[in-house]
Amino acid sequence: MKLKRYIFNLLAAAGLLIMITSCDHDRNHPGWVYMPDMMYSVPYDAYSPNPVFSDSITMQPPVKGTIARGRKPYPFERTFQGQQQAGKELENQLEVSEDILREGKRQYDIFCAICHGEQGKGEGHLYTSKLFPAKPTSLVDDYVQNKPDGEIYHVITLGSLSGLMGAHGPQIKPEDRWKIVHYVKHELGKSN
């Protein structure tokens, strides 16, 4: 009995010793690596250099002309002609309704109000706080209100001609862009 207890104590002490010594206060060092294939990943990390590709970049951009699933390429360019053409050819397929306007406002408040202001007069915080130097166009004045829906959609998608307003296409789904257009025309426009 005594021997068993002795062996048990010895093992416990050895275990405790291993536990204490295996901890390392140097957080930059992983300690003993006894399963290297779990510790170090076999594939190249996204941002690590890569000897396989001629430009040494691991995270290769998609092949030119690739279209993401569920996305349609946008056919117009960020030029004066492109904007005019979008105004002529694109139509808002969504019918105005309370739900659409509510969602349009929600999207507008998230993506546009910071510059154009909650009332759309260009009084957004980024501008009034002087963090953003260019005055955002008033969306309630005739200049924007008289634009066809497609032109406003175009500006949201690709940004303004001068580039002062950036493209929002990558952030906002096409359907939500059309909801914002309705909101700009049917709610903000009324407060003019």
Which residues form the interface with ligand HEC (CB under 6 A)? 111-112, 114-116, 126, 132, 134, 136-137, 139, 144, 152, 155-156, 160-162, 164-165, 168, 180, 184
Q: State how far the Cα of 54 lies from the Cα of 50, in Å rounded to an integer.
A: 9
Q: Which is nearer to ligand HEC, 58 or 160 (CB)?
A: 160
Q: Which is nearer to ligand HEC, 74 or 111 (CB)?
A: 111
Q: Could you tell me the smallest distance in angstroms from the CB atom of residue 48 to ligand HEC?
A: 34
Q: Which is nearer to ligand HEC, 58 or 84 (CB)?
A: 84
Handedness of CA 59, 65, 70, 71 (dihedral sign): positive
Q: State how far the Cα of 124 lies from the Cα of 129, in Å rounded to an integer.
A: 8
183: left (phi over 0), alpha (psi -120 to 50) or beta: alpha
Q: Could you tell me the smallest distance in angstroms from the CB atom of residue 147 to ligand HEC?
A: 7
Q: Which is nearer to ligand HEC, 105 or 168 (CB)?
A: 168
Q: Could you tell me the smallest distance in angstroms from the CB atom of residue 136 to ligand HEC?
A: 4
List the structure tokens of 120. Answer: 């759309």
List the structure tokens of 102. Answer: 């509510």
Q: Which is nearer to ligand HEC, 100 or 139 (CB)?
A: 139
In this structure, are residues 112 and 188 in contact, taking their beta carbons and an 8 Å threshold? no
Q: Who's near 61: CB < 8 A, 6+ residues apart?
A: none
Q: Could you tell me the smallest distance in angstroms from the CB atom of residue 83 to ligand HEC?
A: 6
Q: Which is nearer to ligand HEC, 90 or 139 (CB)?
A: 139
Q: Could you tell me the smallest distance in angstroms from the CB atom of residue 164 to ligand HEC?
A: 4
Q: State how far the Cα of 121 lies from the Cα of 151, in Å rounded to an integer.
A: 18
Give burial (CB, 10 Å; 0-12/13-18/19+) of 159.
Answer: middle
Give the other-Cβ count within 10 Å of 92's Cβ: 18
Q: Could you tell me the smallest distance in angstroms from the CB atom of residue 101 to ligand HEC?
A: 14
